[in-house]
Structure 1
Amino acid sequence: MAAEAIILAQHVIKAFGQGTAAVRALDDVSVEILRGEFFTLLGPSGCGKTTLLRLIAGFEMPTDGTILLDGADITTLPPNKRPVNTVFQSYALFPHLTVAQNIAFGLEMLGKPASEVKATTERMLALVKLETMAGRKTSQLSGGQQQRVALARALAPQPKVLLLDEPLSALDLKLRKEMQVELKRLQIETGITFVFVTHDQEEALTMSDRIGVMSNGKLQQVGTAKEIYTRPKNRFVASFIGETNFLTGRAEDDALRLAGGARIPVPGLRADGAATVTVRPEQVRLGKPEEGGLDATVKDLVYFGTDTHCHLALADGTEVVARLQSPATGEAGYAVGQTVGLRFADGAVQKVED
């Protein structure tokens, strides 16, 4: 049985300003977010992802379109009438209250019985692994611990949807990676739908059940991390999700003919004039020139620890980057100026729209 949508945005438009000076932050966006999934809105600054989150939360009203939550139209409902909670980038904790008091605050405002408040608070403390810090002031906590408190406070009233607006951006790299794992654990354990906003592709790939990639107020593609990474819909998605190579030429039956005459097999590529294909660096294979493939010259080698990026140039000047696993010696096995034979893994070359 297919999962049902808990959030359904239909032809949503959000314009700021009036007349010819109006700017469309969202331009006819429609998306389904499924019950119990970890859904990420991913895109660069100004793409509209936070605006869409704020419309779901009720902090902004759409210029046009509708938003349904669990089948009910919430398009014009105020934030306090919506069964959603939001975790902000700044956490917005009360510094004069303890960890337990911060978590209990929302429940008390809802008029829950004291016994329920106490039991729920204890359960949330255990969920975020802060039982031993219940009596501490939030100002005495680390950034990661403060974020856990913010999450516990937002989860305590058991919202149908939890909205997260770039909550990891203020953390250092190591802690951010740890919290990615924790966020996914919390989502699985609670079963609550998480809608996460980020510009960080690694965060999206690490945590998400599905990702919606946005650009210029439009939803470019929605799919699983694997679908978007291996089958990007257009050039923007391919370039924004991970690193990639673009090759441009003329389409022939099941092949791309580069300007220098080299022919790259691309199954399903029809003969319809100019075309662009993409291939990920880890799908580039190098060998000896006599073994066949395209002749390429090594232009640069960049060592990244576990990986070495080999920058190459084809005969017509087309640049290609290959990601190679670094041997234990730290040597890439190739030298600048060396001529190599270049191939692509089967099925790795994909046509993309501009």
Structure 2
Amino acid sequence: MSSPVPAVEARSVVKLFGQGNAAVRALDEVSVAVAAGEFFTLLGPSGCGKTTLLRCIAGFETPTDGAILLGGRDITAEPPNRRRVNTVFQSYALFPHLTVRENVSFGLEMLGRPRAEIRDTTDRMLALVQLDAMADRRPDALSGGQQQRVALARALAPAPEVLLLDEPLSALDLKLRKEMQAELKRLQHETGITFVFVTHDQEEALAMSDRIGVMSGGRLLQVGSPRDIYDRPATRFVADFIGETNVLSGMAEGAVARLPTGETLALPAACSGPVTLAVRPEQLRLAPPWEDGALRATVTGATYLGTDSRLRLRLADGTEMVARIPSVPGGESVPAPGTEVGLAPVRGAVQVLAE
């Protein structure tokens, strides 16, 4: 049985800006396939290549090498207007002189759709983004979140095969951004359209995505579900970029790694030689310093955060560690600075990283 054709696919895409020795390699042999109906997020810091890849899919940039496919068809050389792809930008790019309804129907009119279809589709899109009561307002009479919904409705109206979203929530305040995260996920679920979303916000990516592709330096470092990316980072960069993590060096001896302190940590699989290990702060528990499998550490500081406390600790060799200890009503307070404690990773918490 053949595999389903991806909604959109990049095959060994290279993008150079400039020429000769001064050329900048914005994309370096990037290959990724996004399934139909998937919410896929490209995540990484500024300058990592995620927006360049999005622009190659949209047709605003042409790859120097490699191919872009839409539904299995090579569209690398096709202009943007020939692609069944729409883009929602960070700046909403609404027409200020048009009403909400006119903004949403604009794309359908440009496609020459029948008037009855334009009216029905526009009404359906306005209801989908819950703005039917504001159909006759102009953009300057709307909040930032409402303008973002208009931009989404306008992009969704022509029923694109893929919707590209270039950091569309970055201009919103924190509370509204979280509301729009849930709204975007709802819209994607209800329409069934493939979303390719670009962001530098790790929490945003974890909250909304079916899968995440982490990028750095023009390369795609790891692709996986939010849980895979967080719990099993493939490289040190991914471990550091996605949330907070403790990184340790050791020497693997079968199923354990020996640290510079002489203590050992259990590994997920047997290996040998020098290893770099990652342990998330919330996957460490406090234990008596003498407990088997616990690392001896000294508390150097603590910050109360409501749901938990963030402890800063130092191992015997000077390595700095962080642990997140859940708050329990009526429970014991966190150890004071200078207290010696044991740090015990929960089962399966220690991950081996590729450099």
Task: Confirm or deny a common fold (TM above 0.5).
Answer: yes
Mapped contact 1:42–1:204 kept (Cα < 8 A): yes
Deviation string 1:205-248 (CA, Å, 9 cap, x unpaired) is 00000000000000000010011111111101111111110010
Mapped contact 2:86–2:160 kept (Cα < 8 A): yes
Match of 1:281 in 2: 281
Query: 5+ residue gaps in structure 1?
Result: none
Q: Distance in 2 between the 1:294 and 1:174 partners?
A: 39
Matched letter for residue 254 of structure 2: D
Shift of 1:333: 2.5
Shift of 1:267: 3.6
Match of 1:122 in 2: 123
Matched letter for residue 305 of structure 2: F
Q: Distance in 1 between the 2:198 and 2:7 partners?
A: 17
Tell whether 2:37 aligns with 1:36.
yes
Match of 2:13 in 1: 12
Aligned-partner SS, 1:254:
strand
Aligned-partner SS, 2:130:
coil
Mapped contact 1:256–1:269 kept (Cα < 8 A): no
Aligned-partner SS, 1:271:
strand
Match of 2:139 in 1: 138
Shift of 1:37: 0.2
Structure 1 vs Structure 2 CA RMSD: 1.3
Match of 1:178 in 2: 179
Shift of 1:326: 2.2
Deviation string 1:165-209 (CA, Å, 9 cap, x unpaired) is 000000000000000000000000000000000000011000000
Mapped contact 2:258–2:264 kept (Cα < 8 A): yes
Aligned-partner SS, 2:262:
coil
Aligned-partner SS, 1:270:
strand
Query: 5+ residue gaps in structure 2?
Result: none
Q: Distance in 2 between the 1:331 and 1:112 partners?
A: 67
Q: Flag the 1:121–1:275 CA change in 2: closer, same or farther, 3 A.
A: same
Q: Distance in 2 between the 1:279 and 1:60 partners?
A: 40
Match of 1:91 in 2: 92
Mapped contact 2:104–2:122 kept (Cα < 8 A): yes
Q: Distance in 2 between the 1:63 and 1:146 partners?
A: 35
Deviation string 1:263-292 (CA, Å, 9 cap, x unpaired) is 1121424122x2111011111010222444
TM-score, with length taken from structure 1? 0.97
Shift of 1:332: 3.9
TM-score, with length taken from structure 2? 0.97
Matched letter for residue 98 of structure 1: T
Q: Distance in 2 between the 1:281 and 1:224 partners?
A: 20
Matched letter for residue 175 of structure 1: L
Mapped contact 1:298–1:339 kept (Cα < 8 A): yes
Mapped contact 2:309–2:334 kept (Cα < 8 A): no
Matched letter for residue 122 of structure 1: D
Tell whether 2:244 aligns with 1:248.
no
Aligned-partner SS, 2:282:
helix
Aligned-partner SS, 1:150:
helix
Deviation string 1:281-312 (CA, Å, 9 cap, x unpaired) is 11101022244422111111012221211111
Mean Cα deviation higher: 215-224 or 311-320 = 311-320
Counting only pairs closer than 5 Å after superposition, residues 30-69 of structure 1 correspond to structure 2 as: 30-69=31-70
Tell whether 2:265 aligns with 1:264.
yes
Shift of 1:4: 3.5
Matched letter for residue 45 of structure 1: S
Q: Distance in 2 between the 1:89 and 1:310 partners?
A: 37
Task: Give percent identity, aligned residues only.
Answer: 66
Mapped contact 1:269–1:351 kept (Cα < 8 A): no
Match of 1:300 in 2: 301
Match of 1:217 in 2: 218
Mapped contact 2:125–2:157 kept (Cα < 8 A): yes
Mapped contact 2:311–2:323 kept (Cα < 8 A): yes
Q: Distance in 2 between the 1:133 and 1:349 partners?
A: 52
Q: Distance in 1 between the 2:283 and 2:270 partners?
A: 19
Q: Flag the 1:3–1:285 CA change in 2: closer, same or farther, 3 A.
A: farther
Mapped contact 1:88–1:164 kept (Cα < 8 A): yes
Deviation string 1:63-86 (CA, Å, 9 cap, x unpaired) is 001111011110010000000000
Mapped contact 1:47–1:216 kept (Cα < 8 A): yes
Mean Cα deviation higher: 167-176 or 112-121 = 112-121
Aligned-partner SS, 1:5:
coil
Shift of 1:3: 4.8
Q: Distance in 2 between the 1:124 and 1:249 partners?
A: 56
Mapped contact 1:85–1:154 kept (Cα < 8 A): yes
Match of 1:74 in 2: 75
Shift of 1:330: 9.3
Shift of 1:33: 0.6
Mapped contact 1:244–1:281 kept (Cα < 8 A): yes
Q: Aligned pair count?
A: 353
Match of 1:350 in 2: 351
Matched letter for residue 49 of structure 2: G
